[in-house]
Structure 1
Amino acid sequence: MPNPSVLLILEGTYPFNGGGVSTWAHHLCNKVSNIDFKLYSINASFEKESKYELSENISEVIQVPLWTPDEPYDYISYGEEYYKTVAKKEWTTDEVVEQKFIPLFKSLLEFIYSEDQNIEDLDIIFHQLWFYFEDYDYKETIRNRHVWTAYRDTLAKFIIGERNPDASLIDITIGLRWIYRFLIPLAIVNIPKVDVAHLTLSGFPLIPALIANYKYGTRIMLTEHGVFIRERLLAINKSEYPYFLKSLLIRFSEAITRLAYYKADVIISVTTFNQKWEKWYGADPKKFKIIYNGIDPEVFKPGSKPAHLKGIPTVVALARVFELKDILTMIRSCAVVKETIPNVQYLVYGDDQAVPEYTRECLDLIDELSLQDNFKFMGPKSNPQEIFLEGDISILTSISEGFPYTVIESMSCEIPVVSTDVGGVKEALDESCGFTCKPKDAEEIGGNVTKLLLNEELRKKMGKNAREKVLNNFTLNKFIGEYEDVYSEIMKSKKPKPKLAKIKDFS
């Protein structure tokens, strides 16, 4: 009898990119027993090589590049017979688009902009969209002239005019391009039959899970790391997009988040912090479960500081260099520490080329504050357990997190942590093993770093407490056991294959 199967759906992470979610996924796929994992990896561009050695538990990797110049199926074969691909293009006529697709497309837009939303209606819309794209071509459909006309006319009812005077033609055109990209997974209808579709965020990667649910009755579960909608709102509000594009992104993201919570049978959070946001967006608390991230304490264990750093007050960070990690505040905190400890070293390990313009802003600030000898980007390192042993303390300055691995990894190495109070950090890091500070408060962060660097006895005491807390609460064995239990529970009862819902008039 074959093992139960799980379609693990990811965006911009495993197995082609690093980070906390990738670490989580790698642990899951390597350690959970008797599960056949299939990865559905959504990426900005086409990725040629995995950054991880994949477990034998992974039988298939489906990659969907969203933002490439060509379509995903121009790069990758998704198993659809050639004759059917050609036939779908031929069948996608003006008449078919106008009669079968346009009513659905209008309903989707009207739902997004409606102030009175019933989430079951959005489920029906996506069910019908999947059914349409089973027979007709995605690219030929969305490029059809009737789609632009319907898009323009529908938006005119909601946003054009006094309510939105800055909606230019280019803004509206970009909006349609975004919708085209967000919905691309609807073109990949040849989804493998699996028992569970496991989402790693409550955003647009929901679409392949919906297809599996509609096609096979596949159960859906969600693990929320950072809160997708919270981080999306932070990014949108900070962006320089005009009002129309901000509104479109927010409304569409909120709608898809609500649908993810509605469709999921189980909503796992890596921290209780997430559940407040999930409730705000309509999630049923009866579906909630907490599973903390776990690490191997035999890998992340106490050790000696490298000889070349002994006697040098050292702060280490393991962080991808981009806005959510707020490296600018970390740099400013270094300037605060330098006032008292002139030879302090901040060593930041992680991808510093992911967002080059942000890295440039960081380097400019380092120059401005004359920290060239104190604050250094070290690039990625393949053995993260060695990073924490280089430091007297570790630091995290993020403005948003789920339950960050870097905190519990550092704690397991008996290295105390100074972190911003975001996400689930306080569920791991209490006053016995480190300090939590207000986000963006360089003075408070720097002050606590200074306090720890100057007090070896306090550092050692906090380090011992930190490892003890990890051993009691955040081990890899505990993490894997809890996921095995959830998979077992969700597979016990199968939902019947859903019947095709009737088309509704959402206008």
Structure 2
Amino acid sequence: MPKPSVLLILEGTYPFNGGGVSTWAHHLCNKVGNIDFKLYSINASFEKETKYKLSSNISEVIQVPLWTPDEPYDYISYGEEYYKTVAKKEWTTDAVVEQKFIPLFKSLLEFIYSEDQQIEDLDIIFHQLWFYFEDYDFKETMRNKHVWLTYRDILARFIIGERNPDASLIDITVGLRWIYRFLIPLAIVNIPRVDIAHLTLSGFPLIPALIANYKYGTKIMLTEHGVFIRERLLAINKSEYPYFLKSLLIRFSEAIARLAYYKSDVIISVTTFNQKWEKWYGADPKKFKVIYNGIDPEVFKPGPKPSHLKNVPTVVALARVFELKDILTMIRSCAVVKNTIPNVQYMVYGDDTAVPDYTRECLQLIKELGLQDNFKFMGPRNNPQEIFLEGDISILTSISEGFPYTVIESMSCGIPVVSTDVGGVKEALDESCGFTCKPKDAEEIGSYVAKLLLDEDLRKNMGESAREKVLNNFTLNKFIREYEDVYKDMMKAEGSKAKLTKIKDFN
């Protein structure tokens, strides 16, 4: 009897990039028994090598690069016969695009900009878009003049004019380019037949799950780490995009998030914090389940501090250097601590090359505050269980998180944590294990860091409590057992939306 099969759908993470979601996925694929995993990995560019050694539980990796100069199928074969690829281009005539695609494209744009949306209609639109791209070429379709004319006319009707006088031609062109890139997974119609499509965010990676659902009746399962729509709104708010592009991105992202919640048979959160956002965007609480991230306490365990750091008050962080981790606030907190503890050392382990402009801003702030001897970027490492032991405490200054691994990894090592109160941090980190602070409050963060560094007994007591809390609540065995149970239950249950109940005429 064949194993149950799961298409694990990821974006910008496993198996080509690191981070918390990648750690989660690696644990899942390595430890969950009797499952045949197939990875659908959406990335910005084409990746040649995986960052992780893949488990024998993974039988296939499908990579879809979204933002390359060429199309994904120019880099990768997706198993479609050559004759059909050529035929689809030839069949995609002006008349076909105008008669068959434009009514669907028009309906999609109208849905995005409508104030009266029925999510069932968006499901039907995507079903018919998939059906169209089964026979016709994505690139030839989207580059057709009728697509631009329709897009222009819809924008003129809904948003250009008094409500948005500053929409420029380049803004409008960029908007269509975004739509083109977000919809690229519709071009990859050769999805493997699987029992479950497991999403790792409620965003545009929903599209391959929809195709599997429409094509095979595959059930859809969502694990929400950081809430996609919340983090998208935070990023847009900080961006310098003009109003038109912000509005398009928000509206399209909100529509996709709502569709992801509607189509998912089970919605798993890594923290209860996520659920208020999910309910806000229409998710049915009957689908909800919380499964906390888990770690191996035999790997992350207490140990001695390295001898070269024994008399140095040390703060460690495992964090990719980019805006959501708010490293600028971490740097400012170091300046606060230095006022009391002049030889304090902050050591940040993680990729500091991914967002060069942000790293430069951080380095400039370090120089301005005179912290060159106190705050150091150490680059990425593959031994987090040893990194935590370098610190007297660990720190997290993010403005958004799901249920961060770094918190429970540090706790398991007996190292107390000072963290911003974001996502599900407080579900792991209580007053017996460390301190939580308001995001962006460098003074409060710095005061708690100094308090812990100056009080050895407090650090020791908090470290012991932190270790105990992990052993009781956040072990890898518990995490794996709960996912195995969900997969088994989904295999037994009927999919709630495996088939559409109506077909709509968009002509």
Shorter-chain TM-score tier = over 0.9
C-alpha distance in structure 2 between counterparts of 1:236 and 1:504, whole Å: 35
Conservation of the 8 A alpha-carbon contact between 1:186 and 1:207: yes
Q: Give matches, 1:375-390, under 5 Å.
A: 375-390=375-390
Letter in 2 for 1:97: V
C-alpha distance in structure 1 between counterparts of 2:128 and 2:334, whole Å: 55
Q: Give matches, 1:94-133, under 5 Å.
A: 94-133=94-133
Conservation of the 8 A alpha-carbon contact between 2:124 and 2:500: no
Q: CA deviation at 1:310?
A: 0.6
Residue 394 in structure 1 maps to residue 404 in structure 2: no
Conservation of the 8 A alpha-carbon contact between 1:334 and 1:446: yes
Q: Which residue pairs with 2:88 in the alignment?
A: 88
Conservation of the 8 A alpha-carbon contact between 1:400 and 1:422: yes
Q: CA deviation at 1:177?
A: 0.2
Q: Give matches, 1:80-229, under 5 Å.
A: 80-229=80-229
Letter in 2 for 1:213: N
Identify which range, 135-144 or 497-506, moves more after superposition: 497-506
Q: Deviations over 1:329-380 (max 9, x none)?
A: 0000000000000000000000000101100000000000000000000000
Q: Which residue pairs with 2:408 in the alignment?
A: 408
Secondary structure (helix, strand or coil) at the match of 1:333 reads helix
C-alpha distance in structure 2 between counterparts of 1:311 and 1:485, whole Å: 47
Residue 448 in structure 1 maps to residue 448 in structure 2: yes
Q: Which residue pairs with 1:457 in the alignment?
A: 457
Change (3 A) 1:499 1:287: closer
Secondary structure (helix, strand or coil) at the match of 1:340 reads coil
Conservation of the 8 A alpha-carbon contact between 2:349 and 2:378: yes
Letter in 2 for 1:40: Y
Letter in 2 for 1:452: L
Identify which range, 488-497 or 452-461, moves more after superposition: 488-497
Conservation of the 8 A alpha-carbon contact between 2:317 and 2:348: yes
C-alpha distance in structure 2 between counterparts of 1:185 and 1:375, whole Å: 42
Q: Which residue pairs with 1:51 in the alignment?
A: 51
Q: Which residue pairs with 1:433 in the alignment?
A: 433
Identify which range, 353-362 or 492-501, moves more after superposition: 492-501
Residue 259 in structure 1 maps to residue 222 in structure 2: no
C-alpha distance in structure 2 between counterparts of 1:339 and 1:78, whole Å: 59
Conservation of the 8 A alpha-carbon contact between 2:223 and 2:268: yes
Letter in 2 for 1:268: I
Conservation of the 8 A alpha-carbon contact between 1:419 and 1:437: yes
Q: Which residue pairs with 1:339 in the alignment?
A: 339
Conservation of the 8 A alpha-carbon contact between 2:219 and 2:498: no
Residue 502 in structure 1 maps to residue 503 in structure 2: yes
Q: Give matches, 1:208-357, under 5 Å.
A: 208-357=208-357
Letter in 1 for 2:240: E
Conservation of the 8 A alpha-carbon contact between 2:227 and 2:402: yes
Secondary structure (helix, strand or coil) at the match of 1:267 reads strand
C-alpha distance in structure 2 between counterparts of 1:380 and 1:229, whole Å: 28
Q: CA deviation at 1:121?
A: 0.3
Letter in 2 for 1:19: G
Conservation of the 8 A alpha-carbon contact between 1:128 and 1:500: no
Letter in 2 for 1:115: E
Secondary structure (helix, strand or coil) at the match of 2:170 reads helix
Letter in 2 for 1:502: I
Residue 32 in structure 1 maps to residue 27 in structure 2: no
Q: Deviations over 1:183-221 (max 9, x none)?
A: 000000000000000000000000000000000000000
C-alpha distance in structure 1 between counterparts of 2:6 and 2:456, whole Å: 48
Change (3 A) 1:500 1:89: farther
C-alpha distance in structure 1 between counterparts of 2:138 and 2:372, whole Å: 51
Q: Which residue pairs with 1:366 in the alignment?
A: 366
Q: CA deviation at 1:32?
A: 0.1
Q: CA deviation at 1:497?
A: 5.7
Letter in 2 for 1:344: V
Q: Deviations over 1:455-490 (max 9, x none)?
A: 000000000000000000000000000000000001
Q: CA deviation at 1:498?
A: 2.4
Q: CA deviation at 1:501?
A: 4.4
Q: CA deviation at 1:500?
A: 8.2
Aligned alpha-carbon RMSD (Å): 0.9
Secondary structure (helix, strand or coil) at the match of 2:37 reads strand
Q: CA deviation at 1:176?
A: 0.1
C-alpha distance in structure 2 between counterparts of 1:181 and 1:232, whole Å: 16
Structure 1: gaps (5+ residues) = none
Letter in 1 for 2:46: F
Q: CA deviation at 1:502?
A: 2.0
Letter in 1 for 2:11: E
C-alpha distance in structure 2 between counterparts of 1:365 and 1:7, whole Å: 44
Q: CA deviation at 1:493?
A: 2.5
Conservation of the 8 A alpha-carbon contact between 2:306 and 2:389: yes
Q: Deviations over 1:57-96 (max 9, x none)?
A: 0000000000000000000000000000000000000000
Letter in 2 for 1:74: D
Identify which range, 488-497 or 93-102, moves more after superposition: 488-497
Conservation of the 8 A alpha-carbon contact between 1:5 and 1:36: yes
C-alpha distance in structure 1 between counterparts of 2:504 and 2:109, whole Å: 15
Q: CA deviation at 1:505?
A: 4.1
C-alpha distance in structure 2 between counterparts of 1:42 and 1:380, whole Å: 22
Q: Which residue pairs with 2:8 in the alignment?
A: 8
Q: TM-score, normalised by structure 1?
A: 0.99
Residue 75 in structure 1 maps to residue 85 in structure 2: no
Structure 2: gaps (5+ residues) = none
Secondary structure (helix, strand or coil) at the match of 1:373 reads coil
Letter in 2 for 1:313: P
C-alpha distance in structure 1 between counterparts of 2:266 and 2:487, whole Å: 10
Secondary structure (helix, strand or coil) at the match of 1:258 reads helix
Letter in 1 for 2:297: P
Q: TM-score, normalised by structure 2?
A: 0.99
Letter in 1 for 2:17: N
Q: Which residue pairs with 2:476 in the alignment?
A: 476
Conservation of the 8 A alpha-carbon contact between 1:127 and 1:500: no
Conservation of the 8 A alpha-carbon contact between 1:127 and 1:501: no
Q: CA deviation at 1:381?
A: 0.5
Letter in 2 for 1:94: D
Conservation of the 8 A alpha-carbon contact between 2:194 and 2:212: yes
Change (3 A) 1:284 1:320: same
Letter in 1 for 2:395: I
